[in-house]
């Protein structure tokens, strides 16, 4: 048994007594999580207290001695090649009653990180089971008799989605480690299959008979990897299990360099389409299962439509969403090819891929609509237009109901979108021969768009002497109320003697909301004076806005 010492509260004896667990929860701070490059705190996603590794001390020697054979067994179990698997403490986590962590994938913080090791410390609690998904298999790990003086270790790849269900009673205390792996370098692990060399030679032999109808001019040979990899972990050194053994075999016959490792991209579809036609539905669906967040080939097999009734967790891994969105620009082209082929296996794949792209794109838009600054919202307008147009083009290749879905969403969310978006959609739709059913939705979009744009054009008009400024009231503090009162009045300037912190609060708010008001400090008297002056650009911007909305209105009328 080993001893954990927390710098702030001293020895932590195992099993952890209830009073001790409560003390831990008190000193823990809200744990953030990675969202793309940012680190955010959002208790609806992750509600747990953390204590940083720097505050946790334990006898690392004793710990490493105990852990070494366990890590070696884990390395083998995880299907990793020869090398060293090590664990580096990341943090101590305390889940009190009601606390949880929604489904997510851990960010790979270093090139060597391959996964996570969770050590559940003995501490009385109920609930808080750990649910891990690996290649379509979901396993739930419940710690029975959590107060028994045992350490429970769980290791999983960084590519595994996992979650911690809410704790219902007591405290779940865990040490979370980053699992790192260093490959031992090449060793003749594999018995070289002489047949492999021969097969490859003949595959590329220009004189050979076409080996199969779907690859008549075999310029390339493609292996699909069996394991799941993140963009970061996709390298020869970090291949897992059977993938690793295949690469080793190619290495043995000195052909590894002829192959490159890459994630499946739309550019590969020309080559993959005939393969999919040949191998059928399972092949096509498996190829996309991870991509679209549903790894359920068997379930997909049962329902040809690929229905996604059962909820599945979505990771909070922005980067992968961004990679997936890269597909959008070429997706309509892919759908067109699939239609031309008239192949059922591929057709069944196209719809879930569309659904995924749609979901990510709309979620992305909602995120931008929530931004407080007008400038940052406007910056995204062009992208939103392009994305919706790409979705529409793909939807048109799939079926009318997908087009309808986009239009209905847009009508519902219209007030959050800049006018350009529905106008571009309307212009796009005039070129689209729709079925009768669609006409209604389109008509409704025409009406709502015209009404909204007209109203926006009118609202933008600003009388010459109208200095009133409207801002959303978010902060309720007395200073902000005073600021809002000044903004909404016809007054052009105000001087506010305020202490430093209060001035800074207002500076921040004016900048964050891009309020057209200059804000400077007159360093005179005590406290100094915050001088607020409404800016003439208020009128310039209003005129520009009015002109833009009018122009869009004309386009909306023509469309």
Ligand X SMILES: O=C(O)CCC(=O)C(=O)O
Nearest distance from C-beta of residue 107 to Fe ion, angstroms: 9
Residue, CB closest to Fe ion = 106
Residue number with CB closer to ligand X (152 or 428):
152
The encoded tokens of residue 474 equal: 């978010």
Based on CB atoms, which residue is closest to ligand X, 176 or 356? 176
- Least distance to ligand X from the beta carbon of 116, Å? 6
118 binds, among ligand X, Fe ion, none (CB under 5 to 8 A by kind): ligand X
Cβ closer to ligand X: 176 or 320? Answer: 176
Q: Give the DSSP letter of residue 500.
A: H
Structure tokens at 507: 């500076």
141 vs 203, beta carbon nearer ligand X: 141
Structure tokens of 311? 């909820």
Smallest gap from Cβ 95 to Fe ion, in A, equals 13
- Here's the x/- map for Fe ion, 456-495, by CB under 5 A: it reads as ----------------------------------------
Token pair belonging to 373: 């600054």
Q: What angle do CA 388, 393, 399 make, to 5 degrees?
A: 110
The answer to whether the CB of 158 falls within 8 A of the CB of 115 is: yes
Strands (E), 188-313: none
d(CA 240, CA 230): 12
Give the number of other Cβ atoms within 10 Å of residue 263's Cβ: 12
> Could you say which residues in the range 412-431 bind ligand X, by CB under 6 A?
none
- Comparison of 156 and 358: residue with beta carbon closer to ligand X: 156
178 counts as binding Fe ion under rule CB under 5 A = no
* Nearest to ligand X of 93, 552 (CB atom): 93
C-alpha 427/C-alpha 359 separation (Å) is 23
- Contact between 248 and 190 under an 8 Å Cβ cutoff? The reply is yes
Count Cβ atoms within 10 A of the Cβ of residue 480 and give its class: 0-12 exposed, 13-18 middle, 19 or more buried.
Answer: middle
Residue 212: how many other CB atoms lie within 10 Å: 11
Cβ atoms of 114 and 175 within 8 Å: the answer is no
The number of C-alpha atoms within 13 Å of 386 and in the hemisphere containing its C-beta is: 12
To ligand X, the closest distance from the beta carbon of 10 in angstroms equals 23
The residues facing 534 across adjacent strands are 517
Measured CA to CA, the distance from residue 503 to residue 507 in angstroms comes to 6
Q: Least separation, in Å, of the C-beta of 204 and ligand X? A: 45
Segment interacting with Fe ion, rule: CB under 5 A, options 16-24, 102-110, 288-296, 320-328: 102-110
Phi/psi at 204 (nearest 5 deg)?
A: -95, 5
Stretch that binds Fe ion, among 99-107, 190-198, 266-274, 336-344 (CB under 5 A): 99-107
Residue 164 binding partner per list Fe ion, ligand X, none, with a CB distance cut-off of 5 to 8 Å that depends on partner kind: ligand X
Residue among 93 and 287 whose Cβ is closer to ligand X = 93
Alpha-carbon span 85 to 180, nearest angstrom: 6
- Which residue, 33 or 236, has its beta carbon nearer to Fe ion? 33
Cα distance between residue 15 and residue 2, in whole Å? 11
Q: Please give the residues from 153 up to 192 whose contact with ligand X meets the rule CB under 6 A.
A: 162, 164, 174, 176
Site string for ligand X, 121-140 (x = CB under 6 A): ---------x----------
Q: Which is nearer to ligand X, 85 or 179 (CB)?
A: 179
Q: How many angstroms separate the CA atoms of 160 and 295, rounded?
A: 11
Structure-token match 């719809």, residue found: 351
* H or E segment and range at residue 409: helix 400-413
Tokens of 239: 């291949």
Identified binder of ligand X from the candidate list 4, 21, 92, 101, rule CB under 6 A: 101
Which C-beta is closer to Fe ion: that of 106 or that of 248?
A: 106
Can residue 118 be called a binding residue for ligand X (CB under 6 A)?
A: yes
| From ligand X, Fe ion, none, interface partner of 112 (C-beta below 5 to 8 A by class) | none
β-pairing verdict for 167-170 and 493-497: unpaired
Place of tokens 């994938």: 105
Can you tell me the distance from the alpha carbon of 73 to that of 29, in angstroms, rounded to the nearest whole number?
34
Q: Quick one: which segment of 72-80, 103-111, 121-129, 487-495 binds Fe ion (CB under 5 A)?
A: 103-111
What is the closest distance, in whole angstroms, from the C-beta atom of residue 162 to ligand X in the complex?
6
- Exposed, middle or buried, 336 (CB in 10 Å: 0-12/13-18/19+)? middle
Residue list 362-381, contact with Fe ion (CB under 5 A)? none
CB of 27 to ligand X, least distance (A): 18
Binding ligand X by CB under 6 A: which of 28, 93, 155, 289? Answer: 93
Residue number, 133 or 449, with CB nearest to ligand X: 133
- Which option in Fe ion, ligand X, none does residue 47 bind, with CB closer than 5 to 8 A by kind? none
Q: What residues numbered 238-277 form the site for ligand X, per CB under 6 A?
A: none
Which residue of the chain is nearest ligand X when measured via CB?
118
From the list ligand X, Fe ion, none, pick the one residue 294 interacts with, judged by a Cβ distance below 5 to 8 Å according to partner type: none
Interatomic CA distance for residues 495 and 530, integer angstroms? 6
Residue in 106, 163, 355, 549 binding Fe ion, rule: CB under 5 A: 106
CA gap 440, 447 in Å, rounded: 11
Size of the site for ligand X (CB under 6 A): 9
Q: Is 106 an interacting residue with respect to ligand X (CB under 6 A)?
A: yes
Distance from C-alpha of 443 to C-alpha of 264, rounded to nearest angstrom: 39
Whole-number minimum distance, CB 296 to ligand X, in Å? Answer: 22
Chain residues binding Fe ion by CB under 5 A are 106
Q: Which residues bind ligand X (CB under 6 A)?
A: 93, 101, 106, 118, 130, 162, 164, 174, 176
């Amino acid at each position: 048994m080993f001893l954990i010492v927390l710098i702030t509260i001293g020895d932590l004896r195992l099993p952890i007594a209830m009073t001790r667990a409560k003390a831990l929860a008190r000193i823990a701070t809200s744990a953030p999580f990675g969202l793309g490059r940012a680190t955010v705190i959002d208790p609806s996603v992750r509600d747990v207290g953390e204590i940083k590794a720097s505050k946790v001390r334990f006898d690392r020697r004793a710990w490493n001695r105990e852990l070494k054979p366990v890590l070696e067994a884990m390395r083998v179990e995880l299907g990793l090649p020869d090398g060293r698997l090590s664990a580096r403490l990341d943090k101590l986590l305390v889940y009190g009653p009601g606390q949880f962590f929604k489904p997510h994938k851990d960010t790979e913080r270093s090139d060597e990180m391959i996964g996570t090791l969770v050590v559940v410390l003995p501490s009385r609690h109920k609930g808080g089971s750990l649910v891990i998904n690996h290649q379509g298999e979901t396993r739930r790990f419940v710690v029975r008799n959590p107060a028994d003086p045992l350490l429970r270790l769980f290791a999983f790849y960084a590519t595994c989605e996992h979650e911690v269900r809410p704790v219902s009673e007591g405290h779940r205390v865990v040490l979370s480690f980053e699992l790192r792996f260093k490959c031992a370098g090449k060793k003749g692990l594999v018995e070289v299959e002489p047949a492999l060399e021969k097969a490859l030679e003949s595959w590329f032999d220009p004189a050979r008979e076409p080996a199969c109808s779907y690859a008549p001019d075999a310029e390339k040979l493609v292996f699909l990897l069996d394991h799941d990899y993140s963009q970061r972990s996709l390298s020869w050194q970090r291949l897992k299990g059977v993938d690793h053994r295949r690469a080793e075999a190619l290495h043995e016959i000195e052909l590894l360099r002829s192959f490159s490792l890459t994630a499946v991209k739309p550019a590969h579809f020309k080559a993959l389409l005939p393969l999919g036609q040949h191998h059928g539905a399972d092949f096509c669906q498996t190829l996309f299962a991870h991509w679209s967040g549903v790894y359920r080939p068997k379930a997909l097999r049962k329902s040809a439509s690929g229905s996604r009734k059962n909820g599945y967790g979505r990771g909070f891994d922005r980067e992968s969403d961004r990679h997936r969105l890269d597909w959008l620009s070429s997706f309509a082209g892919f759908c067109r090819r699939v239609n031309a082929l008239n192949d059922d296996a591929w057709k069944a794949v196209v719809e879930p891929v569309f659904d995924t792209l749609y979901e990510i794109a709309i979620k992305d838009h909602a995120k931008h609509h929530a931004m407080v600054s007008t400038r940052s919202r406007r910056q995204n307008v062009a992208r939103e237009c392009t994305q919706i147009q790409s979705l529409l083009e793909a939807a048109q290749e799939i079926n009318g109901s997908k087009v309808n879905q986009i239009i209905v969403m847009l009508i519902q969310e219209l007030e959050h979108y800049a006018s350009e978006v529905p106008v571009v959609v309307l212009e796009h739709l005039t070129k689209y021969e729709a079925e009768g059913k669609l006409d209604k939705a389109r008509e409704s979009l025409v009406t709502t768009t015209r009404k909204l744009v007209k109203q926006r054009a009118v609202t933008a008009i600003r009388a010459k002497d109208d200095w009133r400024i409207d801002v959303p009231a978010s902060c309720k503090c007395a200073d902000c109320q005073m600021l809002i009162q000044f903004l909404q009045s016809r007054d052009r300037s105000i001087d506010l003697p305020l202490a430093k912190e209060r001035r800074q609060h207002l500076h921040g708010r004016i900048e964050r909301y891009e309020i057209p008001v200059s804000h400077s400090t007159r360093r005179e008297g005590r406290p100094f004076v915050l001088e607020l002056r409404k800016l003439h650009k208020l009128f310039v911007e209003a005129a520009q806005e009015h002109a833009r909305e009018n122009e869009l209105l004309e386009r909306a009328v023509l469309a």
